[in-house]
A and B are shown apart, each in its own frame.
Chain A
Amino acid sequence: MTAYQAGSMAAFEELYARLAPPLLAYLTSLARDRGRAQDLLQEAFLQIHRSRRAYRPGLPVRPWVFTIARHVWLMDRRARGRRPGSDAPLPDLPVPPEVAALAERDRLNRALSTIGSERREALLLHHVWGFSFAEIGQLLGIRADAAKLRSSRGMADLRRALHATSRRDHA
């Protein structure tokens, strides 16, 4: 990031290579539309570029770029007038390693779709992308313990949803 701030195109390309995949997955989980998320990803990198001065060397890069990506999604949602509780099906999402062994991908995805968006976001940020609760708190504008609560409740919801689908499959 520091080399990018110094004007290195190679540094930007490396940043893109490292951050585009998790950012696309994150935006997909928010937008629930892979095509839309790809557009948002490009917009997010343009915003990252415009605001690169605001990154302070020494601070972790990922919370900074995820926060900007989330902002891009929020602005897009506001422009489209879409409500947060969209019931469109979730596209293929990354799955927390802790529960990856519990069921096949499709069932996990369906179970994730049933969790409230706030809890799902905190759950994925912590278990999939490895953010600390303090970082999630800063990203979402909430306290670290509130982020922890959302994530743990999201995990409990996910286990319950998996249990319910498992019982339905056996019946």
Chain B
Amino acid sequence: MPERIDLPPALRDAIARDLHPIAPLPPPARRLAVVIPVALALLVASAAIFGLRGDAPRLGVALTWLASTLQMALGLVLTAAALRESVPGTTLPRRVLGVLIGTAVLAIVLITTLTWFASPTRIASGHVGFVWTVCVAGTVAGALPVLAIAGWLVARAFPLRPRVAGALYGIGAGLIADAGWRLFCHFSDPVHVFGAHALGIALAALIGVAVTRPSAESR
């Protein structure tokens, strides 16, 4: 006979007081669908508002739109991983997390290197600080809408590893924002891309962690 444990009256009362119908969370793919239109808008926003980078004809479609679309897709994959991570019992193994983040880093290194070889452009001395500031701020500002939506979706679930979930969608939001921003930024110098653009992505990741951790720990 399996052991029987009586429901304590205090627990019963606490549950009964708060019991009301709730709508279960949709699957991660359906929740991700909310982020996709924002990601697509961010992909074209910088080029539409500020104009396409000056060396776009030299880079061709592959190293402009195709590369940015690939980067945006990787950002969406990381955001989907965060949504999955935020549901108990479906957390991702550490190795899978490592592979996902490693793939995103490799893709950025590859895109940056190919872009540099196809069209080497450097920031003129005297403007480095200004351009870096603009690129960091542009990437972080672009990431904010994705951070807000993904953060809300993650907080509605139950992330047991809030730092992991926050970092995942933060990096995802940074990648999505930078995918659009790099279509406007005229400078392919790897020092600039791995410095300013990567810093923008890292700041987006920190915002993801900073936002998700307190909301999860307040439960």
Contact = CB atoms under 8 A, between A and B. Distances in A.
Interface of A: 2, 5-7, 9, 12-13, 16-17, 20-21, 24-25, 41-42, 45-47, 49-57, 59-60, 63-64, 66-68, 71, 135, 137-139, 141-143, 146
A58 B100 CA distance: 27
Interface residues of B, number: 39
Interface of B: 2-5, 7-8, 10-12, 14-16, 18-27, 86-96, 156-158, 160-161, 219
Looking at B3, B15, B27, B95, the one whose CB has the most chain A CB atoms below 10 A away is B15
B7 A16 contact: yes
Contact of B21 (A6, A21, A46, A71): A6
A138 B94 contact: no
Nearest to A13: B7
Given A7-B20, A67-B89, 20 more contacts: A7-B21, A17-B4, A17-B5, A24-B3, A51-B158, A51-B219, A53-B22, A53-B24, A53-B158, A54-B156, A56-B26, A56-B87, A59-B90, A64-B87, A67-B88, A67-B160, A68-B158, A135-B89, A137-B93, A139-B89
A12 B89 CA distance: 19
B18 A49 contact: yes
Question: Which of B2, B22, B88, B94 has the most chain A CB atoms inside 10 A of its CB?
Answer: B88
A138 B90 contact: yes
Nearest to B96: A143
A49 B12 CA distance: 11
Given A24-B5, A64-B89, A142-B93, A49 B15 contact: yes
A21 B88 contact: no
- The DSSP consensus for interface residues of chain A is helix
B5 A67 contact: no
B68 to A, nearest CB: 32
Contacts of A45: 11, 15
Contact of B156 (A12, A53, A71, A139): A53
B93 A146 contact: yes
Contact of B3 (A21, A54, A68): A21
A143 B3 contact: no
B25 A54 contact: yes
B3 A53 contact: no
29 contacts: A2-B24, A5-B21, A7-B21, A17-B4, A17-B5, A20-B7, A21-B3, A21-B5, A24-B5, A46-B14, A47-B219, A49-B14, A50-B219, A53-B24, A53-B25, A54-B156, A54-B157, A55-B25, A56-B24, A57-B24, A64-B87, A64-B88, A67-B88, A68-B158, A71-B88, A141-B93, A141-B161, A142-B94, A143-B95
B88 A54 contact: yes
Contacts of B4: 17, 21
B11 A42 contact: yes
A137 B89 CA distance: 9
B5 A12 contact: no
Contacts of B95: 143
4 tightest Cβ-Cβ pairs between the two chains A and B: A51-B158, A64-B89, A7-B21, A63-B89
A118 B147 CA distance: 35
Contacts of A66: 89
A1 B15 CA distance: 14
Contacts of B5: 16-17, 20-21, 24, 41
A53 B2 CA distance: 29
Nearest to A62: B89
